[in-house]
Amino acid sequence: MTKRAAVRRLLANAEDNLAAALLALLLAAMGWQVFTRYALGAPSDWTEEAARYLYVYVVFLGTSAGISSRSHVSIAFFVERLPPFARLAMSLVVDVLILAFLAIMVWWGIKATLRNVDIPLSVTQVSYAWVYVIVPLTSVAMIVRTVLLMRADIARYREWRVAPPDAQRVII
């Protein structure tokens, strides 16, 4: 594998990799909390707060990774019975609705982040903005992923339309 291919693969799985690293930190923080509470008899102050906000990051990064792999819950019973063009159209309509929702998430996420810059967390005294910044960042990543999926769907449909009849299979 070339260096460029390795970088491309790393970026393609950026949300997965970052979520996994933060999940490891979350596990370490919770392990430290259990150890200090039961072995030392004096629970650490920062671990509960850190675990709470690490969990928020893991959830948003996991959601972004789910967009790129299309692994979110969906009901495809009726869509699977549509002809290919109608299936593509339905997929694109759903993707446009997702993009609209994500644009709202970016807007309100930025507003919430900026509104909480001067408010510190109760224990660690880190700015509350660090909790909220994950919302617009992952929403932008999900917008990019959704647009790339839409392009791939259209390209797959075009390939299907020009393929010989025996190569025509389900495209979405």
Does residue 25 lie within any of the structural domains?
Answer: yes
Does residue 52 lie within any of the structural domains?
Answer: yes
| pLDDT, position 1 | 64
| pLDDT, position 105 | 97
Q: Does 162 score more than 60 pLDDT?
A: no
Mean pLDDT of the chain: 87
User: Which residue segment(s) compose the domain that 11 sits in?
Assistant: 3-167
Structural domain tally of the chain?
A: 1
Does residue 109 lie within any of the structural domains?
Answer: yes
| pLDDT, position 86 | 86
Mean pLDDT of 140-164: 84
- From CA 79, how far away is CA 157, in angstroms rounded? 15
Tokens of 165: 């009849």
pLDDT-wise least confident of 28-42, 60-74, 90-104, 132-146: 60-74
Mean pLDDT of 137-151: 94
Q: Does 39 score more than 70 pLDDT?
A: yes
Does residue 34 lie within any of the structural domains?
Answer: yes
Residue type at 167? A
Does residue 134 lie within any of the structural domains?
Answer: yes
Does residue 172 lie within any of the structural domains?
Answer: no
Q: Among 71, 32, 75, which Cα is nearest to 51's?
A: 32
Does residue 140 lie within any of the structural domains?
Answer: yes
Asked whether the beta carbons of 48 and 23 are under 8 A apart, the reply is: no
Does residue 127 lie within any of the structural domains?
Answer: yes
As to burial, measured by CB atoms within 10 angstroms (0-12 exposed, 13-18 middle, 19+ buried), residue 7 is exposed
Which DSSP symbol is given to 122? T
What's the Cα-to-Cα distance from 46 to each of 29, 36, 154, rounded to whole Å? 9, 11, 49
pLDDT tens profile 64-107: 988 888 887 777 778 888 888 888 888 899 999 999 999 999 99
Q: Among 134, 128, 97, which Cα is nearest to 115's?
A: 128
Q: Does 166 score more than 50 pLDDT?
A: no
| pLDDT, position 147 | 95
| pLDDT, position 72 | 79
| pLDDT, position 70 | 82
| pLDDT, position 170 | 47
